[in-house]
Amino acid sequence: MTSGQTAVEVAERWARVEGVRMRYLCAGSGPALVLLHGLLGYSFSWRFNIPALARHRTVIAVDMPGAGFSERSSALECSFRASANRLLSFLDCIGVGPFEFAGTSHGGAVAMMAAAIANQKEKRLQSLVLVAPVNPWSDHGQRLSRLLSQPVVSALLRGLGPRVAAAHGILLRRLYGDPSRIAQGTLEGYSKPYRAPGGLDYALRILSTWNTDMRELESTLPKIAKIPALLMWGSLDKAVDPASAEILRRKFHHSMVKIFDGVGHLPYEEVPEEFNRALVDFLNR
């Protein structure tokens, strides 16, 4: 926080969507900016961004059902389209009208699908920010999803339980371009919601339909081509290939790409000040 700025109050709130209690964080005022986390993330992922963004928007950072501290339900379908519809139902539930999306990784794919659905009848979505979104032109995630969705591998992962922190530690170091930037408390924050048995079920069910979802996402992109878009990537991203950024950019009529040199898959927490400046500049255009 710079001199003269007051602290931003971040409120924890709850809504019930499709029978599941859903947690979200809310801060700021003005037009709505919805932040959508990645596969093993939750609203905690945006802890370094919410205060800065809340000075320009009403920021809504969700824990999708099955992730973070929202309720889990084995009855929920986890495809991109089902998740997108659930997200839009949530926004209807809390009374959000026109809005902007910022989605990262898996959340970026869900944001693109939700954008297409939201703008079918009315131009409800104003702009789209995609942070290393999974997409059909990066085969990293497709290879990983085929491995992790194998029954034997899935069973081993479901049994991690209290040992999930060790797995998260390995993953975090891989996702950062410079692991020395991992802030104190990051590992504990990411691991806490997933320590209970069954905490990884949601992620594994997402992976089970990953490649089918990717084909549907590709066919959906022409429907959102006119939405202004900002694509943000770390140059050292090992999860979603940075080379796919330019291919995806060409799918939008009005778009730009911001590459963070020497940064991995999580630029919003690895270089948050630079990330926040770029995002605010885009929102204020």
The pLDDT value recorded for residue 192 is: 87
Half-sphere exposure of 188 (CA within 13 A, CB side): 3
Helix locations, the chain, DSSP H: 50-53, 80-93, 106-118, 140-148, 151-158, 164-175, 186-191, 201-208, 210-220, 244-249, 267-270, 272-283
The pLDDT value recorded for residue 40 is: 86
CATH number for the domain formed by residue range(s) 11-283 = 3.40.50.1820
Q: Chunk the chain into consecutive blocks of 10 residues (it has 285) and report each block's average pLDDT, rounded to whole numbers.
A: 68 96 97 95 97 97 94 89 96 95 97 93 88 89 52 46 62 92 93 74 80 93 96 96 96 97 98 98 92
- Asked if residues 60 and 127 have their Cβ atoms less than 8 Å apart, the reply is no
The pLDDT value recorded for residue 147 is: 46
